[in-house]
């Protein structure tokens, strides 16, 4: 998902770092974190693939990307903002499924922080996706059509 929607990486870096991943996936995570650390705000998976190519990481990433998800995408293939919102909720839903107790605690902490600090619109967007994912987890919803 993060290869298809790399613009999410800055929002999920901390959670991504906490995931216990197999070596191949850990190498992809490292590449995504390097990409994000450079402060690049990609418009699409094609932008990620351009960076991957420039940094000789094709073999690391290629096994995890379908052609239609990025490396053959047109450079002007700009992501629909609604798709990004949906992908953000899907990511947190996935993360919450892996460790629900931790996810619940993190959401509660973020709600408190947002309230105390009078969070801005960007913080609300990130929190809103987590709240939606938490609600879906509580309902037991796994229906992809909701995304």
User: What pLDDT, on the 0 to 100 scale, is given for residue 72?
Assistant: 46
116 within a domain of the structure (yes/no): yes
User: What pLDDT, on the 0 to 100 scale, is given for residue 89?
Assistant: 92
- Tell me the average pLDDT across 26-40: 83
CB 69 within 8 A of CB 49: no
Q: Total domain count for the chain?
A: 2
55 within a domain of the structure (yes/no): yes
In sequence order, which residues have a C-beta less than 8 Å from that of residue 54 and are 6 or more positions away? none
35 within a domain of the structure (yes/no): yes
75 within a domain of the structure (yes/no): no
Range of the structural domain that residue 140 is part of: 81-146
pLDDT per position as a tens digit, 37-96: 887 666 677 777 888 888 888 887 777 766 555 444 444 456 677 888 899 999 999 999
User: What pLDDT, on the 0 to 100 scale, is given for residue 147?
Assistant: 42
> 137 and 106: one domain?
yes
> 63 and 88: one domain?
no
Domain stop point among 27, 48, 69: 69
CB 98 within 8 A of CB 118: no
pLDDT per position as a tens digit, 90-124: 999 999 999 999 999 999 999 999 999 998 988 89
The dihedral of CA 118, 123, 125, 131: what is its sign?
negative
| Dist CA 75 CA 31 (whole Å) | 20
> 57 and 96: one domain?
no
User: What pLDDT, on the 0 to 100 scale, is given for residue 129?
Assistant: 92
Write the DSSP string, 68-89: GGTTTS-TT-PPPHHHHHHHHH
């Amino acid at each position: 998902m993060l290869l298809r929607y790399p613009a999410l990486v800055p929002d999920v870096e901390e959670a991504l770092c906490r995931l216990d991943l197999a070596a191949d996936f850990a190498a992809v995570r490292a590449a995504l974190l390097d990409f994000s650390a450079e402060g690049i705000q990609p418009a699409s998976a094609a932008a990620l693939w351009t960076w991957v190519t420039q940094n000789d990481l094709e073999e690391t990433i290629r096994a995890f990307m379908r052609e239609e998800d990025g490396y053959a995408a047109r450079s002007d293939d700009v992501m629909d903002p609604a798709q990004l919102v949906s992908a953000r909720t899907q990511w947190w839903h996935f993360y919450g499924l892996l460790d629900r107790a931790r996810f619940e605690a993190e959401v509660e902490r973020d709600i408190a922080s947002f309230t105390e600090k009078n969070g801005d619109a960007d913080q609300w967007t990130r929190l809103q996706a987590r709240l939606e994912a938490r609600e879906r987890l509580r309902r037991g919803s796994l229906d992809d059509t909701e995304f």
